[in-house]
Structure 1
Amino acid sequence: MAANRVFVARMAGLAVFGPDGERIGKVRDVVVALRVDASPPRVLGLVVDLSSRRRIFVPMLRVADIDSAAVTLASGSVNLRSFDQRPNETLVLGQLLDTRVTLRDSGIEGVVADAGIEPTRSRDWVIGRVAVRTRRSRLSRRGQVEVLAWDAVQGLALGESQGTDRLLAVFGTMRPADVANALSELPRKRQQEVVDGLDDERLADVFEELSESDQQVLLGFLDSERAADVLEAMSPDDAADLLGELPDEEAGRLLALMEPDESEPVRRLLRYEWNTAGGLMTPEPIVLTPDATVAEALARVRNPDIPPALASMVFVCRPPQATPTGRYLGCVHAQQLLRAAPFELVAGIVDAELAQLGPDAPLGEVTRYFATYNLVAGPVVDPQDHLLGAVTVDDVLDHLLPTGWRDQEDPPLDVPEVASEVAGEVAAGVGQEEVADA
C-alpha cells in the first residue's frame, strides 16, 4: 500500500481503477465492523459508485493501492450485485461521522470529524485514529480538532453507540461464546435489554458460555418462569452447574418449575460432586442399540446440534436407550464408522475393551483417562453396567482452568498449581492401585 494511514473523508469521490488501468467508478463510503469493546473496528471494504450509478461492495482484500488521487484494485473478481448493508456493518461517512463522543482522559465531549484507517501486519485494515472536533474556541468558530487513538474515545463501541435492535442483529451473526464475551462488557442496563430481546434457545446457548458470576447476574434479570424455560433449553450438565451455584431454596424452586422430563437428568447430575465424572458428564450422549447400522450411526453423528467432542463417539447399549440405559456393550469411534460399510451393524465393530469411568471417579482420574487413551469423550458407567452419560474433554478443561477464567480476556493459567492438584489426585489413585495389587 502507498499509504500507512488514510482519512476516510478524503477518500470520498476518489476514482477507483481496475488492475488494467480502466476507471470503474468512485469511492462512496467505507464499511467497518464495530466491536463491543474498545478495540479498533475492522475495515471490511469500500462502497463504490459505478458509472452505471449502481453501488457495489469491494472487499479490502481486493484493494491493491490507496493514494491521494485514486484507489487501485488488485486482480480478481468483484461481485457486481448492488450493495446491501448488513446488520453488523457501519458506514463511516454515512453513520460514524458526527457521532457524539467523550474523550476518555479529559471527559471533554465532541463529535467525530473523520476516521483514519490503517493496515495491520495481517493485511487487515482497522480504524486506528479518530479526528474529534471538541467545543468551539475564540480562535475557531468550528472548534478544535484532535486526532486520537480509537481507544481514547468513548461512545463509538457497538454497545455504546448502537440501539438494542442493532446490537441484537449483530449478535445473531456471532458464535455464542463471542456473544457471551461481548455481553459481559456491556453496562447492566444494556445487558438486561439484550437478555429480554434474545429468544430462550439463543439465550441458553449464551448462558452456557458465561462465567458463573455473569450467569447469576443475568439470571436475576429473568422472572422465574422464563429462567426455568432457559434452564430447560440448556444442556443438562450446564444447567446443573448453574443450579449448583445457587442457594438450595432457589435451585429447588427453579427445578420445580421445569418440565419433569427436563428436570430429571439435571436432578441426577446434582447428586454427584462437581469434580467427579458424574458431575462432569452430559447425560445425553449418542446411544444406539446393537442392531443399528453404520449409516444410522453416521446420521446421528452428523447432527449439527451435537457438539464435536460428543459426536466423536457413539455408545452401544441394550434397550432402553435413554440414560441410565440398558446393559452397556461398548463404543464405536467416529473414525471407525467412516471406515465401515454403511450397511454393517454397529455391533460388529463395537470396542468392548475400552476402559470405563465410574460416576465417582475424581477429576485426576478422569484427566489421566483422557491422556492415557487419547480420547475427547469417554463413557461413564455404573456398577450395574448402565451407561449414565459421557464426559468430554471440554468439560475437563473447564474444571482445570482457574476459577473465574471466563471473566478475564487473557486468563493466566497457573500451570504448576493446576498440575500439582491433578498430579496429587493421580498419585493418590496410583497409590491405591499399588496397595490393591499388593
Structure 2
Amino acid sequence: MAGPGSRVFISHLAGVSVFDPNGDQVGRVRDVVVALRIGARPPRVLGLVVEVVGRRRIFLPMTRVTSLESGQVLTTGVINMRRFEQRPTETLVLAELLDRRVTETATGAEVTVLDVGMVSTRLREWEVSKVFVQRGKPSRLRKSRGETVTLDWSAVTGFTLAEEGQGAANLLATFEQLRPADLASMMHHLSAKRRAEVAAALDDERLADVLEELPEDDQVEILGKLQDERAADVLEAMDPDDAADLLSELPGDEAERLLQLMEPDEAEPVRRLLSYEENTAGGLMTTEPIILEPDATVAEALARVRVRDHKPALAAQVYVCRPPNETPTGKYLGTVHFQRLLREPPFTLLGSLLDDDLDPLPPDTPLPLITSYLATYNLVAAPVVDEADHLLGAVTVDDVLDHLLPEDWREAALHGGENGPTEDSTVEHESEAHRGR
C-alpha cells in the first residue's frame, strides 16, 4: 500500500483494474465506500466496490489493498465474492457525494463537489481528507467557468443532509466511457432518487441506449419521473421495438398519452408493433432493418452496414425490396448476407445476389418457430413479411433471447446472476468480519 500521506482523488479510481496476488484481473473499481463520522472528523474509507465478471459487484476492504499506484489496484489475501449490499451507515463517494451542494464553512457559500481526495494514515488506514469543489452556481457541463478550489474536509459542511435536485454532471463525466450496458449497471445500483438525477443529466440518445439495457421496473420508474415531453423524446430515440416493449408495461392511457406526444412518423411504427401479440414475429421484430433496392451496389450496401448505429445482428444482412424503402416496404425480393457482400466486386448490383430460397416469417409466427428457424438455418436475423409480400421488419437473435430468458434476467445479470461464485467455488472467501466495519 502507498505510504502514509499518499493522496488519491477518488474519481481517478473509477474503472481502474483490480489484480489479485497472482497478477490475474479480478474486476474494475466502480466506487469507494466510506463511513461518515460526527462533526468535522474525516470519513474513514472502508473499501472499494469492484465489478467482477457478470457485473457482480463485490466489496474489497482497504485492508486487502496493497497498492493504488500506476493506474491499478493490487490486492492480497482472500476475496469475498458475495454480492455487495450497501449498509445504512455507508456512503458511496462517486454515486452519492459527487455533484452535491455543500457549504464552505469560512464563507457560508454553497459549493459543488467535483471530486473527493483520500489519504493514507500512519495506522495504514485511509480517510477522506480533501474536497475539490466549484464555487458559484452548478452547471450541467463538467467544464464550467466557476472557480475551483481544493478544501480540507473540515472546511465544508452539509454532507449528511438530505438534498433535493442533486446534479449528476461530474458523476457522468467519471463514467463517460462506459458502454450503455455498463452505465445501466451503474444506474441500477443507485438509489431511486440518484437514478432519476442521473437520467435527467443524460441526453436523450444516451438515456435511450441505457433504458434499453435496464430491467423493466427501472425503465418504468425512470420514464415516469421524466416530463411527458422529454419522455416522448426519449421514446423516439429508442429502437421502435424497445420503445413498444416499454410502453406495453405502462397503463393504456399513459402509453397513449406518450404516443400522442411523439412525432407521428416515430409513433407509427411503435403503434404497429403494439398491435401484434408479444411473443410473435410481429411483436419481436424491429421495424428499422437495412433496406436497399435491387439496383443498389455492393459498395452502397457495405457503406450502410458500416454505420455504427446498426446493431451487429441487423448489420449481418441487407434486405432487398421494391420502393418504398421504409417499412412496410414495396415487394420483398430477398436477402443479401454480409459475407456475400465481402466476396463480390463493389459495383455488383444487389438484385443479382439475392438469397431467396428461404421463406420469410409471417408476423404471427410464434416464438418457438422463430427460434427453430434461426437455429435450423444458422441465422442471426430473419425478415418478417406480410401476405402482400411487404417487408414489415426483421427479428434478430437478441430479440429472441430477450424473450427466451427468464423475465428477470436483466435484474439477475446486473446483480451478477444467481449462479455466480459461491462458498464452494474455487475463489477463496473471507468472513463478514473481514469487511472492516
Query: Which category of TM-score, normalised to the shorter sequence, fits these structures?
Result: 0.5 to 0.7
Q: Residue 296 of structure 1: which of 300, 304, 312 is its match?
A: 300
- Change in 2 beyond 3 A, CA 1:275/1:302: same
Do the aligned residues in 2 keep the contact of 1:201 with 1:233 (CA within 8 Å)? yes
Shift of 1:32: 7.5
> Given the alignment of the two structures, is residue 9 of structure 1 paired with residue 3 of structure 2, yes or no?
yes
Q: What CA distance in whole angstroms lies between the structure 2 residues aligned with 1:182 and 1:113?
A: 20
* Residue in 1 that maps onto 2:417: 411
Q: Residue 236 of structure 2: which of 232, 237, 254 is its match?
A: 232
SS at match of 1:112: strand
Do the aligned residues in 2 keep the contact of 1:8 with 1:30 (CA within 8 Å)? no
- Change in 2 beyond 3 A, CA 1:321/1:308: same
Relative to the length of structure 2, the TM-score reads: 0.65
Matches of residues 248-263 of structure 1 in structure 2 within 5 Å? 248-263=252-267
Larger radius of gyration: 1
Instruction: Give the letter for the 1:275 counterpart.
Output: N
Q: What CA distance in whole angstroms lies between the structure 1 residues aligned with 2:190 and 2:374?
A: 38
Q: Residue 73 of structure 2: which of 118, 125, 150 is its match?
A: 125
- Change in 2 beyond 3 A, CA 1:407/1:109: farther
Shift of 1:166: 1.9
* Residue in 2 that maps onto 1:144: none
Matches of residues 204-353 of structure 1 in structure 2 within 5 Å? 204-353=208-357
Matches of residues 36-115 of structure 1 in structure 2 within 5 Å? 42=16, 101=35, 110-112=43-45, 115=62
Q: Residue 173 of structure 1: which of 160, 171, 177 is its match?
A: 177
- Change in 2 beyond 3 A, CA 1:169/1:376: same
Tell me whether 357-366 or 400-409 shows the greater mean CA deviation.
400-409
Matches of residues 134-145 of structure 1 in structure 2 within 5 Å? none
In the alignment, structure 2 segments of 5+ residues that lack a partner are 24-28, 48-61, 78-83, 100-167, 420-437
SS at match of 2:384: strand
Q: What CA distance in whole angstroms lies between the structure 1 residues aligned with 2:218 and 2:311?
A: 23
Instruction: Give the letter for the 2:73 counterpart.
Output: W
Q: What CA distance in whole angstroms lies between the structure 2 residues aligned with 1:365 and 1:113?
A: 52
- Change in 2 beyond 3 A, CA 1:102/1:31: closer
- Change in 2 beyond 3 A, CA 1:247/1:156: closer
Q: What CA distance in whole angstroms lies between the structure 2 residues aligned with 1:189 and 1:151?
A: 16
Deviations 1:294-351 (A, max 9, x none): 0000000000011011000100001111111111110000010001000100111110
Q: What CA distance in whole angstroms lies between the structure 2 residues aligned with 1:10 and 1:151?
A: 28
Deviations 1:174-215 (A, max 9, x none): 111111111011012111111111111111111111111101
SS at match of 2:3: helix
SS at match of 2:395: strand
In the alignment, structure 1 segments of 5+ residues that lack a partner are 1-6, 13-27, 36-40, 45-59, 66-87, 91-95, 130-148, 414-438
* Residue in 2 that maps onto 1:159: 95
Q: What CA distance in whole angstroms lies between the structure 2 residues aligned with 1:111 and 1:11?
A: 15
Shift of 1:111: 2.3
Shift of 1:219: 0.9
Do the aligned residues in 1 keep the contact of 2:35 with 2:46 (CA within 8 Å)? no
SS at match of 2:44: strand
Relative to the length of structure 1, the TM-score reads: 0.65
Shift of 1:34: 4.5
> Given the alignment of the two structures, is residue 391 of structure 1 paired with residue 395 of structure 2, yes or no?
yes
The number of aligned residues is 316
Q: What CA distance in whole angstroms lies between the structure 1 residues aligned with 2:189 and 2:267?
A: 31
Q: What CA distance in whole angstroms lies between the structure 2 residues aligned with 1:375 and 1:246?
A: 33
- Change in 2 beyond 3 A, CA 1:209/1:202: same
Do the aligned residues in 2 keep the contact of 1:32 with 1:43 (CA within 8 Å)? no
Do the aligned residues in 1 keep the contact of 2:11 with 2:174 (CA within 8 Å)? no
SS at match of 1:315: strand
* Residue in 1 that maps onto 2:55: none
Shift of 1:109: 9.1
Q: What CA distance in whole angstroms lies between the structure 2 residues aligned with 1:295 and 1:410?
A: 43
Higher RCO (CA 8 Å, separation ≥ 6 residues): 2
Q: How high is the sequence identity, in percent, across the aligned residues?
A: 54
Q: What CA distance in whole angstroms lies between the structure 2 residues aligned with 1:89 and 1:253?
A: 38
Shift of 1:172: 2.0
